Amino acid sequence: MVLLPPGSFYMGSPASELCRDPNEARHRVTLTQAFYIAIHETTQDEWQAAMGDNPSYFFECGGDCPVEWVSWREAIEFCNRLSEIEGYTPAYTINGDDVAWDQSANGYRLPTEAEWEYACRAGTTTSLYNGMISDCFVDSICDGNAWYYGTSDISTHPVMQKTPNSWGLYDISGNVWEWCWDWYEDNLEGPAIDPTGPLTGTDRVRRGGAWNVLARFLRSANRYFFMPDRGRSNTGIRVVRNFQGE
């Protein structure tokens, strides 16, 4: 995992950004706490070791490929299981359909939407972490850093095969969508300090694009969502963990 420092950044996209969506209002966000983030998406082998099964549609891709067909709820359960295995305090309390997050816990968890974009951008302000997009559909600037519609041959691929961002994070664009903690809302407002999203909702946020999406969905500001009790072959996870001076 990589330790990311606290910091401030502009979340969302400017009105002039090519391929932007109306739910990407640009606003200042400050994250006051350092956190660890996995350098790659959770793999099928990692999921199998913790959970004892492999839900992936692309299971023949192999153990180094990202796990997918994971619902948000299953992602939460994985975080708790991995925390228990490694001796950390689980971040989540699950009571039926209700999930409570103990923000003081040192166990594995999903990133907030703001943490995810902060990590993806790695200090950049361009539409992609490696530059500006020029084509919303298939763009050669995406080819070196993402498995997407233009490069994937309609499948996931082993992690860490593309160029990482400057903070050493692989596949944060493409391969599989990554679940975030937040309930989705159309209009984010700022400035904001350590935002965690609305208290209720119908869909959870997922970020980063996937093997079957167009280039526009790989942009750092792109926001997407899905029902938390459903999995898909293009949706997986990347875990984070609080830094507590260890």
Q: What is the DSSP string of 79-121?
A: HHHHHHHHTPPPSEEEETTEEEE-TT--SEEPPPHHHHHHHHH
Residue 40 has a CB neighbour count (10 Å cut-off) of 21
pLDDT over 70, % of the chain: 100
The per-residue pLDDT for 189 is 85
Mean pLDDT, rounded, for 35-64: 98
Q: Mean pLDDT across the stretch 193-205?
A: 97
- The pLDDT of 119-143, averaged and rounded, is 98
**CA torsion sign, 3 to 14 to 200 to 178?**
negative
Question: For 2-242, CATH number?
Answer: 3.90.1580.10
* Type of residue found at 189: E
Question: What average pLDDT does the segment 139-151 reach?
Answer: 98
Among 169, 167, 189, 173, which Cα is nearest to 127's? 173
> What is the model's pLDDT at position 190?
86
For range 154-179, the mean pLDDT = 98
In 3D, which of 51, 55, 98, 50 has the Cα closest to residue 73? 98
Higher pLDDT pick, 189 / 77: 77
| Per-domain boundaries in the chain | 2-242
pLDDT at 245: 74
Dihedral of the CA atoms 67, 35, 32, 169 (nearest 10)? -60
Residues 6+ apart with CB under 8 A from 87: none
pLDDT at 23: 97
Strand (E) or helix (H) holding 192: strand 192-193
Check whether 116 has a pLDDT greater than 70.
Answer: yes
Provide the pLDDT for residue 40.
Answer: 98
Contact call for residues 180 and 101 (beta carbons, < 8 A): no
* pLDDT bracket for residue 244 (50, 70, 90): confident
Residue 246's pLDDT band, with cuts at 50, 70 and 90, is low
| Average pLDDT score over the chain | 97
The rounded distance, in Å, linking the Cα atoms of 230 and 79 is 17
Per-residue CA distances from 12 to 20, 105, 165, 193 (Å)? 9, 28, 18, 15
Is the distance from CB of 72 to CB of 224 less than 8 angstroms?
no
Residue-level pLDDT at 84: 98
Parallel/antiparallel/unpaired status of strands 35-37 and 235-236: unpaired
